[in-house]
Amino acid sequence: MTNYTIKHNELTAEEFISLWESVWDGAPSLAQTKLAMQNTIFRVSIYDGEKAIAMARMIGDMGLCYYIKDVVVRPEYQGKGIGRTLINELLKFVNDNGIKGTSVFVELAAVPDKMPFYEKSGFTTNEARRLKMIYEVK
Ligand SMILES: CC(C)(COP(=O)(O)OP(=O)(O)OC[C@H]1O[C@@H](n2cnc3c(N)ncnc32)[C@H](O)[C@@H]1OP(=O)(O)O)[C@@H](O)C(=O)NCCC(=O)NCCS
């Protein structure tokens, strides 16, 4: 990690889409992504020189609930501890902003093959199942 730069709340919509496309299909539109970046409570991004190589973000209410979204490390940079660094940065944000002396929920949804990655950072599963709806905004 020594040659890489960590930035807070600087991830742009364009960088988000580029990182998304490095690992997933079906990136969201620029307009949707810009609105999402504006309303995200914390964005962390990591750079190799000028190039964005990793990102993660947190949505939530700061007091009770923090929800982790869009944890991505570009494939050629995976397996070097960068993903763990992203999670550590997110958890530092919780520690810096939560009410001292309280417990807060830090949650996320993960596909089964990524669960061990999160378990290594201290996350555990429970019996809850994720429900979702793809809602068409008219
Ligand atoms: C998941 C992801 C963020 C992990 O990032 P990474 O930089 O490769 O992870 P790290 O190198 O920091 O790994 C930290 C630890 O987790 C382990 N780990 C990482 N991915 C793992 C996996 N899929 N299964 C099991 N262990 C994994 C590493 O071996 C390492 O363990 P160690 O400390 O014992 O050596 C990355 O693979 C990625 O971007 N994947 C595509 C996007 C994605 O699926 N994101 C998650 C959405 S839920």
Which CATH number does the domain housing residue 49 bear? 3.40.630.30
Residue 95 inside a domain? The answer is yes
CB-based pocket (< 6 A), ligand 1: 23, 71-73, 78-84, 110-111, 113-114, 116-117, 120
Q: What pLDDT digit, counting tens, does each position of 89-113 carry? A: 999 999 999 999 999 999 999 999 9
Mean pLDDT by 10 residues, the chain (138 residues): 91 98 98 98 98 98 98 98 98 98 97 97 94 96
User: By alpha-carbon position, which residue is closest to atom 21 of ligand 1?
Assistant: 117
CA 80/CA 60 separation, integer angstroms: 28
Lateral strand order in the sheet of 5-8? 5-8, 42-48, 51-60, 65-73, 105-107
Q: Whose CA is nearest to atom 29 of ligand 1?
A: 79
Answer whether residue 134 is part of any domain.
Answer: no
**DSSP letters of 32-85?**
HHHHHHHT-SEEEEEEETTEEEEEEEEEE-SSSEEEEEEEEE-GGGTTSSHHHH
Measured in angstroms, how far is the CA atom of residue 41 from the centroid of ligand 1? 23
Question: Residue 117 Cα, ligand 1 centroid: separation in angstroms?
Answer: 5
Give dist(CA 126, CA 110) in Å, integer.
Answer: 12
Within a domain: 125: no
Residue 76 belongs to a domain: yes
Q: Which domain holds residue 108?
A: 5-119
